[in-house]
Amino acid sequence: MSTHSLKFKQTIVTDDVSLAAQRIRLGGLVAFPTETVFGLGANALDTEAVQRLFVAKGRPADNPLIVHVANPDDVRVLTSRIPSYAETLMEAFFPGPLTLVLPRAPIVPDITTAGLETVAIRMPDHEIALDLIRQSGMFIAAPSANRSGRPSPTTWEDVFEDLDGRIDLILKGTQTQFGLESTVVDCTGDFPVILRPGSVSLEELTAVQALTVYSDSSELSQRSPGTNHRHYQPNARVLLVPNPCLDDIPRDAAFIGLAGGFGAHLRYEAKSVADYAHHLFSFFRRCEKEGIRSIYCQKVPAVGIGRALMDRLERAAN
């Protein structure tokens, strides 16, 4: 991490959920595992705590946060209207890697939603995350627990690398299951609109709600302003290569993909697209530690989880 980052506190690393819950109640910042990536949590209704969260991450103020709940009924407290198709999605995917964007209730502060009239909500499918939310008795606003612009963390060590000295506590847990973030779906119109592809695929969504679509890019920057910013980028050049990969990979570079890339200094051959997604961000961070300057990433077909993987690869390469 950058050496000029200002450290201001001792970060506790622990398995103690009750201590973490206490920190949340006191307005502190707590990183915790979820099934997607690690989140950096604060009391979603505490303006000052959320303000500190934006500062710790270096996050632009126009990028709203996802509020995490431990009970589907809590969605009612945070929103003013829930269309019936959103209820159907909740029944099918809560708990799980799906985030719903709904009209917000007045109790949700401006800072949490970046001034939008909507609020993003999800119920994580992870014991530690749910335990933390329940024990704190709070709704927990949590972006991914990386410094803004960097790859999302999939282990507590990744969080430590980015945020040691900037947050109160890290709950350890193990490497996250999916490795890519949740799917963000706007539920303010007549049918669901995907704002960010993620760990729940379009195919899984349309099996439950046939009329689910991807937003087009102009609609996206309007409904989800934060998506314009730099994202997922390691301290190395990311280059996309086709599958099959016919070009030679330079000997001092790294390769991640489904097949090929022989001769690369560091190489990860994934067993499946899901396995590729699971390992992508941790591979980026490993390349950084080994001082690798170029990471060659193989493209995959943009179907199923492949759509979210291609989204992250394209943003990392941008």
User: Which residues of this chain interact with ligand TXA, rule CB under 6 A?
Assistant: 34, 36-37, 39, 63-66, 97, 99, 101, 113, 116, 118-120, 122, 142-144, 181-182, 184, 195-196, 223-224, 226-227
- Amino acid in the structure at residue 134: R
Q: Rounded to a whole number, what is the largest CA-CA distance in the chain?
A: 57
User: Which residue's CB is nearer to ligand TXA, number 63 or number 298?
Assistant: 63
Output the smallest distance, CB 295 to ligand TXA, in A: 21
Report the site for Mg ion in 127-146 (rule: CB under 5 A). Answer: 144
CA atoms of 75 and 52, how far apart (whole Å): 24
User: Which residue's CB is nearer to ligand TXA, number 176 or number 298?
Assistant: 176
Partner whose binding site includes residue 166, from ligand TXA, Mg ion, none (CB under 5 to 8 Å by kind): none
Output the smallest distance, CB 129 to ligand TXA, in A: 8
Partner whose binding site includes residue 50, from ligand TXA, Mg ion, none (CB under 5 to 8 Å by kind): none
Output the smallest distance, CB 299 to ligand TXA, in A: 22
- Residue with the shortest CB distance to Mg ion: 144
Report the site for Mg ion in 143-172 (rule: CB under 5 A). Answer: 144
Q: Is 102 helix (H, G, I), strand (E, B) or coil?
A: strand
User: Which residue's CB is nearer to ligand TXA, number 182 or number 212?
Assistant: 182
**163, 145 contact by CB (below 8 A):** yes
Q: How far is CA 162 from CA 5, 92, 95, 145, in A?
A: 10, 34, 28, 8
Cα-trace Rg, the chain: 19
User: Which residue's CB is nearer to ligand TXA, number 172 or number 196?
Assistant: 196
Burial of residue 186 (CB within 10 Å: 0-12, 13-18, 19+) is: buried
Q: Where does 15-168 show beta strands of DSSP type E?
A: 30-32, 39-43, 66-68, 98-103, 118-122, 140-141
Please provide the DSSP assignment of 232-243 as one string.
S--SSEEEEE-S
User: Which residue's CB is nearer to ligand TXA, number 200 or number 297?
Assistant: 200
Output the smallest distance, CB 251 to ligand TXA, in A: 35
Partner whose binding site includes residue 227, from Mg ion, ligand TXA, none (CB under 5 to 8 Å by kind): ligand TXA
Output the smallest distance, CB 122 to ligand TXA, in A: 6
User: Which residue's CB is nearer to ligand TXA, number 46 or number 181?
Assistant: 181
Strands 66-68 and 140-141, by their bridges, are antiparallel
Residue 43 phi/psi, 5° resolution? -55, 115
Strand order in the sheet with 294-298: 237-241, 294-298, 254-257, 266-269
Q: Tell me if 199 contacts Mg ion by CB under 5 A.
A: no
Output the smallest distance, CB 306 to ligand TXA, in A: 18
Partner whose binding site includes residue 119, from ligand TXA, Mg ion, none (CB under 5 to 8 Å by kind): ligand TXA
Output the smallest distance, CB 143 to Mg ion, in A: 5
CA atoms of 22 and 27, how far apart (whole Å): 9
DSSP 8-state symbol, 148: T
> Contact positions toward Mg ion, by CB under 5 A?
144
